[in-house]
């Protein structure tokens, strides 16, 4: 079995190769990204991620921030590249669904709960208002769901909803992470988990 970093490096190389064999202009259009071909034939794709502008440069497939925010972690590079590769251009369904309702999600539901929902509830369940404050770090907006809800536009066609319910004497705090039902048109299942986990931990770190 390959070490985790080697797995990531392999996954990144494979998705870059796949994108180079595709029509990058079409891929950009379907993903809500901008497209520019430079004089030397290289391609630059601009994509908005968590409120920040990223630049994906081909043929290397490098992902960089355009505003000096620093390098993008390799795991995030991979799901951004997968998003470009998978994007179908389908419109948002504008209907929220839990992870278990996404095709294939029920099989990985326990993993999703452990890696995404549990840290969210543990960190914000006793103080749901704190979620509203830190969500501004990723351009989150209040959402009329639960006791406290926020909508986060992770990628141009991938919104998430984070929802919390305050605990009471007999019941502990509860929470949920919801996705537009079109999400599998834009990300594979594993990347949906990684994206949600990434956002939750960005919020937890911002709270600290």
Structural domains of the chain, count: 2
Same domain, 16 and 57: yes
Q: Quick: pLDDT tens for 81-124.
A: 999 999 999 999 999 999 999 999 999 999 999 999 999 999 99
Q: Is residue 9 part of a domain?
A: yes
Q: What kind and span of H or E run contains 15?
A: helix 4-20
> Which residues constitute the domain of residue 164?
96-207
Domain end residue (candidates: 62, 86, 110): 86
pLDDT tens figures, 56-92: 999 999 999 876 666 789 999 999 999 999 999 999 9
Q: Mean of the pLDDT values across residues 134-150?
A: 92
Flag whether 112 is in a domain. Answer: yes
Assigned domain for 199 exists: yes
């Amino acid at each position: 079995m390959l070490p985790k970093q080697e797995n990531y490096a392999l996954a990144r190389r494979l998705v870059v190769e796949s994108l180079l064999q595709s029509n990058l202009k079409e891929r950009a259009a379907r993903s809500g990204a901008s497209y520019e071909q430079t004089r030397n034939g290289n391609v630059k794709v601009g994509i908005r991620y968590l409120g920040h502008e990223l630049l994906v440069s081909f043929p290397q497939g490098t992902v960089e921030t355009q505003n000096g925010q620093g390098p993008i972690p390799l795991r995030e590079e991979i799901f951004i590249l997968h998003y470009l590769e998978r994007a179908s251009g389908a419109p948002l369904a504008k209907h929220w669904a839990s992870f278990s309702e996404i095709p294939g999600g029920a099989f990985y539901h326990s993993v999703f709960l452990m890696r995404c929902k549990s840290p969210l509830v543990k960190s914000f369940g006793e103080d749901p208002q704190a979620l509203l404050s830190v969500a501004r770090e990723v351009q989150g907006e209040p959402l009329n769901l639960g006791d406290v809800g926020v909508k986060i536009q992770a990628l141009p066609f991938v919104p998430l909803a984070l929802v919390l319910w305050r605990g009471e004497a007999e019941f502990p705090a509860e929470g949920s992470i919801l996705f537009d039902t079109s999400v599998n048109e834009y990300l594979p299942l594993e990347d949906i988990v990684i994206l949600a986990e990434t956002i939750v931990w960005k919020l937890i770190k911002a709270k600290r």
